[in-house]
Amino acid sequence: MRTTSTALLRRSVTALASRARAERGGDLSLGHVAVLGRVLVDGPLTPGEIGAQLAMTPQSLTRPLASLESHGLVRRTPDPADGRGSLIDATDAGRRAMRDEMAPRDRWLTEAVNAVCTVEEQELLARAAEVMLRVAAYGDRVVPVEP
Q: For each of the domains in the chain, give its residue range(s) and CATH number, in order of start.
A: 3-136 (1.10.10.10)
The string of pLDDT tens digits covering residues 41-99 is 999 999 999 998 888 887 899 999 999 999 999 999 999 988 889 999 999 999 999 99
Q: What is the pTM of this model?
A: 0.81
> 7 to each of 1, 2, 11, 138, how far by Cα in Å?
10, 9, 6, 18
The string of pLDDT tens digits covering residues 102-138 is 999 999 999 999 999 999 999 999 999 999 988 888 8
- Alpha-carbon gap, residue 122 to 147, rounded angstroms: 20
Closest of 20, 5, 24 to residue 113, by C-alpha = 20
